[in-house]
Amino acid sequence: MACSKGIFSVKREELLKFAAGEIQSFTSAPYSPLDGLRTIECKSGVEPVAWRMRDGRLLFSTIRGLLIIDPAQLRRKLSSPPVVVEDVMVNGQSESPNRIKELPPGQKNLEFHYTGLSFLAPNRITFRYMLEGYDRDWSYAGTRR
């Protein structure tokens, strides 16, 4: 997808589920200068905005000219950065992580302050979390830490 905010990829399965009304939202992954692109702002009012060549390469109209992306050459899968729990709070009070293994009755509000350690693209790290033994699925936190 191309827009004034840049070029984004979306998983086909998610897009089809969204179009069918099976899900309310989908996740997009932005391409940025860190991906080797110098210009990410696409040009409005130009059609077609994107074009797929016979060899599979994708062409996009940007504010600085034509941009070509070869999906066969992309290596977008980065390993997850190490996660650090910076603070643990129980009922609004800071606690040692060792003390939360067994909480006494009445301790209802748990808060974890965490981050992912990455110098490559810290503004593009997103998070999800699950409290084992309590949550059934992952909760998407986005960039919230």
Residue 66 has a pLDDT of 81
pLDDT per position as a tens digit, 46-86: 777 788 999 999 888 888 778 888 888 776 566 778 888 88
Residue 142 has a pLDDT of 85
Contact 76, 69 (CB under 8 A): no
Signed CA dihedral, 87, 96, 132, 108: sign only = negative
Shortest CA distance to 67 belongs to which of 59, 79, 77? 59
Number of neighbours of residue 40 by Cβ within 10 angstroms:
22
Residue 22 has a pLDDT of 94
Residue 17 has a pLDDT of 94
Structure tokens at 26: 């989908």
Residue 16 has a pLDDT of 94
Going by pLDDT thresholds of 50, 70 and 90, the confidence category of residue 33 is low
Residue 20 has a pLDDT of 95
Total H helices, total E strands in the chain: 1, 11
CA distance 90 to 84: 18
Q: Is the pTM of this model over 0.85?
A: no
Write the CB contacts of 137 (distance below 8 Å, at least 6 apart in sequence).
130
Structure tokens at 62: 């940007």
Residue type, 32: S
Residue 21 has a pLDDT of 94
